[in-house]
Amino acid sequence: AYLRMRRIASVVLVWRNYYSKGVKMSSHVPDQVNFPHEEEKTLKLWEKLDAFQTSLKQSKDRPRYTFYDGPPFATGLPHYGHILAGTIKDTVTRYAHQTGHHVERRFGWDCHGLPVEYEIDKTLGIKGPEDVKAMGIEKYNNECRKIVMRYSSEWEKIVTRLGRWIDFDNDYKTLYPWFMESIWWVFKQIYDKGLVYRGYKVMPYSTGCSTPLSNFETGQNYKDTVDPAVIINFPLDEDPSVSMIAWTTTPWTLPSNLALCVHPDFTYIKVVDQSNDNTYIMLEDRLDALFKNPDEYKILERLKGSSLLNKKYKPLFNYFAHMKRSGADEGAFRILCDKYVTSDSGTGVVHQAPGFGEDDFRVCTHYGVIKRDEKVVCPVDETGCFTSEVTDFKGQYVKNADKDIMKALKLSGRLVHQSTMKHSYPFCWRSETPLIYKAVPSWFVRVESMVDKLLANNQKCYWVPEFVKDKKFHNWLKDARDWSISRSRYWGTPIPLWVSPDLEEVVCVGSIAELEELSGVKITDLHRENVDPITIPSQTRPGTKLHRICDVFDCWFESGSMPYAQSHYPFENKKQFETTFPADFIAEGVDQTRGWFYTLLVISTALFNKPPYQNLVVNGLVLANDGLKMSKRLKNYPDPVDIVNKYGADALRLYLINSPVVRAEFLRFQENGVRDVVKDVFLPWYNAYRFLIQNVQRLEAEEGITFKHDDKVAHISSNLMDKWIMSFSQSLVAFVHQEMDRYRLYTVVPRLVRFIDQLTNWYVRFNRRRLKGETGQEECIQSLHTLCDVVLTMCKLMAPFTPFLTELMYQNLRQLLTADQTSCNASIHYLMIPQANKAVIDVQIEQSVASMQTVIELGRVIRDRKVMPVKYPLPEVVVIHRDQCVRDHVISLKSYILEELNVRDLVVKDDEKPYGIRLRAQPDSDRLGKRLKGEFKKVSAAINELTDDDIKELQSSGELVVVGHTLSMEDIKLLYTVDPSQSSTYEAHSDGKMLVLLNVTPSDEMKQEGVAREVVNKIQKLRKKAGLKASDAARVVYMAVGNPSSVDKLCDVIRSHEEYVSKATKGGILAGDTAPTDDVIAFDEQKIKGLDGASLKLWLTSSTPHCRYANVSVLPGSKLKCSHNLATLLLENPAGQNMIGYERFLEEAAVLFNCRGKTLSLYKLTTDSVIGPVPYTTVLEKLLPSNWDISQLHGSTIFVHSEDQLSGKLGIGSKLTSLGTNPVVPYANVTLANGQQVTVLLENPKDVPLGWRDNPQAFADQMFGEQ
């Protein structure tokens, strides 16, 4: 009682304070919502508030949370991969901000490199370096500069529209001079540590872009392709009748052949081809590469691979025949041994072209065929065409030359076999041309020497999901190769190395100031056109100038240096950077394990021997619905902008981060998935919020109570469902903090979505009557506090995930809060996500409700199976469970189970046998069929014959031996069935632990109640179809038609349940013989389940009285003592006749309120709005004969007072409100035979029925006689 009084007192105090400050009430929430349209309005609100920058200002003194954003290229538009990664980044950084951190979020742009150059080359028709030289580097780079930010405005627009908060004004671009200067510093640190060297290396090479690629770039674009596969003979010098035979899928490399390689430990054979008597040496295990059956060959001799070492052979072509030497173990065109040769393809003999194969280069260097300091045989130019060294094929593109080379080999008798092979082959990720492997001079970072450090630093990082770190990334690091960081291109950061012509003197420059000091030249831009002309005087050779090497950095070196370069470290922000490095969080796609994640780690390890990030979230790839890569050409995916415009950004965000893709798996994008987020998540959530606001407004309008949320009130409720949802929500808060601290979005989002289901389909559904005030004012207010608290908590939790919808709700919910409304709480995104209130978490209640939900869900399945809608009551539900604790949970929530399943009684037992229930086993056909194969049929039959004892053994031990096979619970499905010989009363269903029996034999009374509920359901659907609100009154006229017997039964049901039906319709229900003609709002005809042959015609008619009227109330504080103080008085009757005057109104009011003989006065509100606790004299106007005007009084509220004058103090602490524009008592409109319109009141005062309500015919005779 004390707490109740405290709550009432607090509500009054809060109400007084807020009313005096002119607080806004909550806004109306429409039934229909257009989420994309509302998001556009939210964007305008954020713009008005400057919300993102304001949030940063508010958090500037909080602990720093560092986030690095991987820079995209602005030469293309954002795709779903960008949107996915951006959503993950935005979600995590919003969460960090809302948990008490300052999170700087700067957008970055990757401006250099092949993507830009390739676009320019296509546009200007540039084929190779000679074209650029003719054009001039300055002009070429200016063209690149023009397009580098081609789509930047579209990027900003789309990213902003998706709700991502990131700073575009304070961005970084890799072309900024200060960014490039930091890259120079990074490189100089690595160079000074001896980790940079120049060398030849066979590298993946893009002939389309005329540049080598990194190993990790190579792995980004593999495609299935068909290549020629040829076997070539190599006659031995010692016996030209015997030939080695080698297999290759790159005939274009054969003109550069310098050696053959075999495995030293494998067994090779000398074999005669019976079809032509040629003798070959090949791997015994690969005979099927040339021969189809044993009759085609004859084995002469078996040889160890090592015995073939240094045997010499005749060159295929004479282009490099001069490299053959007379010494036994020197020169080219001899057989070498290495264990990289495999036995799974080819002939076991690998042709060696060291200029075009990484292993070839290594093996030939090892055996002295070539030397590291000599030019490598590589007769292919930058565009992939043969040079003049290969005279027969000069100028031909290597891939196109395959046919001519094979033709030449066939003519020379060296072609043994020719076919084709389909295999996976790397293509350039930018030009889409096939890559070749080519020996090129390059500058390298020594990564191989850092592998142990890389692996150790990787272990210091936390990856989500972890398997990417421990498998994919670990394996990549373990086999890491030295990184070629130089590119023979133009648009990029120049490598700051000035060298002498013989490369004996090298100067590495680490800053603009250092370059000026060394050269005397001051520059502000570091691109090639400005840097290349600068020379540095030699320190060792007076008069000699050092020139910059022509290469630029691989753009991956730039993006890997972004942690330092975005802050212009170490030239600026030194302290700030060093206190916030490494980053708290980064995120990108799984493809970046060989890209950005890798380059970040390599550079950070080289600089500081520490990882550059602490936490890393890896997402999978978004594919088209057909499982293929999304392709503009194929048009196999919907435009992201169209999806956002159709369903909203929040729906797309939640769809993406509630999918397997956040576990680094593939996602096949489906538009239906985004639509389902709206349908299954947002609309139920929005409707729960709308229901809250509607009932807050109803409380204010009908009961004069201004609702202000107090979380303390929500936390002390004694209602079990209030306790449950509060506990459940606080458990959710704890879970979200726990999982988000570990960056596990894939566990958080499903739990948040599940909570929305719990809120809407369980709490709101079970508490509708409380929330609508039908169980009393105190219960209503308590449930509103609970629902408001939960919805607000949910908004705070979901704000990082769905920033728009939560903002929409919060802007209205904040009007219900007691806190002052200031700029600090003007947005949901300014608020902190609360910590879990452990005091309200009650695990037992959560378990109890979970048990109740299981019972209800199993019962619903039974009803659906039997086609018995919940509207029809049933006698009994029986719940059977072995666990006493679970049984207690079910019993404690009996009332909810009875109401939700619409049953009369609940029985809880621990044994199913008395009900004729047995457990039956069925095999899991899919699982066992694959495993048992031929044995499945026999085992399946045995499973179907298992006894109760067998099944109990399976349940207790978890496995059972059936026909010699050990089976587990996963192999066998257990089903409960009702023995028809014992009972036809019950229908059963189980989840494996709990068994629910539903008595499916309702009584006649129950059937009638079901029909009444069906009628109400039809009426409610018709009201909804007519667009009526819950509070709108409308009369229902019905007519039953069809089978006479069924019609009579239907009419009897409606008459016997008239009060229940009338209450649901908000305006009464009348039987009609003909269709009404006046004031019809809507019509429908429906069949009624359970009454075959009967249909119900329903008309909704306007409930506006024919006659004008006024509602009458005794003035609060008046001395009049009345048992009923609300009434309605007709101001005329029939319509337009017998207008009531001032004196007559006073007389009728005195009769209604039982105060005849007393002096009464009448007052009218001067405002339609809710009036606060102020003196009545300021808000009431006294009615007198002089100002009596029926047209002004119609539909108004008139207050009756027992004194002639109002006291100045009267009204303090009281509250007045209009009674609304509808009569407060039920009525009937009547049309007389002569056409006159009459209104008849059926109660007066309110809740006092008049005698004719039960006998309308007698009333009609009395009132109108023959009319």
Q: How far apart are CA 15 and CA 22, in angstroms?
A: 11
Q: What is the DSSP string of 960-1004?
A: EEETTEEEETTTEEEEEEE-TTT-SSEEEEESSS-EEEEE----H
Please give the DSSP secondary-structure letter assigned to residue 827: S
Residue 593, C-beta contacts closer than 8 angstroms, at least 6 positions apart: 468, 472, 473, 476, 618
Residue with tokens 């009130």: 713
**Catalytic pick among 596, 685, 724, 1099:** 596
The two tokens of residue 1191 are: 């047209």
**Catalytic pick among 69, 78, 109, 110:** 110
**Catalytic pick among 396, 566, 592, 730:** 592
The two tokens of residue 281 are: 């040496």
The two tokens of residue 99 are: 């948990």
Q: Are 787 and 766 in contact (CB under 8 A)?
A: no
The two tokens of residue 137 are: 């580097």
Cis geometry, peptide bond prior to residue 873 (ω within 30 degrees of 0): no
List 908's β-bridge partners, or say none: 879
Measured between alpha carbons, how far is residue 645 from residues 80, 185, 301, 649 in Å?
Answer: 15, 45, 75, 8
Total H helices, total E strands in the chain: 44, 47
The two tokens of residue 730 are: 């606080």
The question of whether 592 is a catalytic residue gets the answer yes
Q: How far apart are CA 181 and CA 553, in angstroms?
A: 13
Nearest 10 degrees: CA dihedral of 402, 405, 411, 415?
-70
Q: Phi first, then psi: what are they for 401, rounded to 5°?
A: -80, -10
**Catalytic pick among 629, 712, 838, 993:** 629
Q: What is the identity of the amino acid at 138?
A: E
- Exposure b/e, 121-150, CB count within 10 A at least 16 = b: beeeebeebeebeeeebeebbebbeeebeb
Residue with tokens 């069949």: 1087
The question of whether 110 is a catalytic residue gets the answer yes
583 by DSSP, 3-state: which? Answer: strand
Q: How far apart are CA 543 and CA 560, in angstroms?
A: 38
The question of whether 1134 is a catalytic residue gets the answer no
The question of whether 632 is a catalytic residue gets the answer yes
Q: What is the identity of the amino acid at 564?
A: Y
845 by DSSP, 3-state: which? Answer: helix
Q: How far apart are CA 637 and CA 626, in angstroms?
A: 9
Residue 597, C-beta contacts closer than 8 angstroms, at least 6 positions apart: 473, 586, 588, 616, 618
Residue 537, C-beta contacts closer than 8 angstroms, at least 6 positions apart: 518, 519, 544, 545, 546
Q: How far apart are CA 112 and CA 135, in angstroms?
A: 19
Q: What is the identity of the amino acid at 615?
A: N
**Catalytic pick among 556, 685, 724, 1099:** 556
**Catalytic pick among 71, 228, 494, 923:** 71
Q: How far apart are CA 802 and CA 799, in angstroms?
A: 5
Q: How far apart are CA 1013 and CA 1017, in angstroms?
A: 6
**Catalytic pick among 371, 460, 632, 1029:** 632
Residue with tokens 């001896």: 194
- Exposure b/e, 946-965, CB count within 10 A at least 16 = b: beeebbeebeeeeebebeeb
Residue with tokens 């359970």: 1090
Cis geometry, peptide bond prior to residue 129 (ω within 30 degrees of 0): no
Q: Are 481 and 454 in contact (CB under 8 A)?
A: no
Q: Are 783 and 767 in contact (CB under 8 A)?
A: yes
Which residues are designated catalytic?
A: 71, 110, 556, 592, 596, 629, 632
